[in-house]
Amino acid sequence: MPTIARLALRAAPECDHARYEDIDLDQLSPRARALAEAVQQRSLATAGVIWCALGTVRSLIPDAEQWHADDDLGEPVFVPWSAWSAYPDDSEMDPHDYLEQQARRINPAYSIVGAHPRTPVPSYAAGAADDGWTRQQVLDYLRAAGRPIAPGTWSSYVARGQAPAPVRRVGRTPLWNPAEIKAWTS
């Protein structure tokens, strides 16, 4: 039995009502499922601000022990995310593919928590462990590492076996293992 969520993801400025679609959560990657569950938590189940965990106080704040109580050091640091791409009402894109695309736009260091920072979605842990990188995330990493590569060059490297192959696909989107990419660049 599929797990269905009714979400309103499409932008329809000329309409005064949202268009809800049934999303089969079981068809989504763990990260996209966590995103869909976060949207479902919102009062109208529409795309908007969702909360992500970036790490703990101890891991993100220099000398945190000097500034925070011991009980707070392991607490997560939450950041809002709302950088949705437009999803026009007349778009041919499947809403599952749209959610996958949006989930991969969120910084890979962020773990999707939910619509409220203290109310994690059921797929929080699985979504946090889903660390596959899209081609654009691989290219962004390579650029930051001082090895910029054009998209076509990357595709050629992968096709010839000169770069790591994707470890899996979500829909038509290939995903790479970040550890393999980091090892390949060293």
Residue 104's Cβ-side half-sphere holds a number of Cα atoms within 13 Å equal to 22
What are φ and ψ of residue 56, in 5° steps? -105, 165
Q: What would the pLDDT profile of 22-74 be if each residue is shown by its tens digit?
A: 999 998 989 999 999 999 999 889 999 999 998 776 776 777 777 777 777 77
> Cα(51)–Cα(57) distance, rounded to whole angstroms?
16
What is the crossing angle of helices 151-159 and 135-144, to 10°? Answer: 110
N-terminal to C-terminal alpha carbon distance within the chain: 45
Is residue 15 pLDDT above 70, yes or no? no
pLDDT at 17: 65
Q: Return the closest-CA partner of residue 8 out of 44, 53, 52, 60.
A: 44
**What pTM was computed for the model?**
0.76
> Cα(177)–Cα(158) distance, rounded to whole angstroms?
13
Is residue 170 pLDDT above 80, yes or no? no
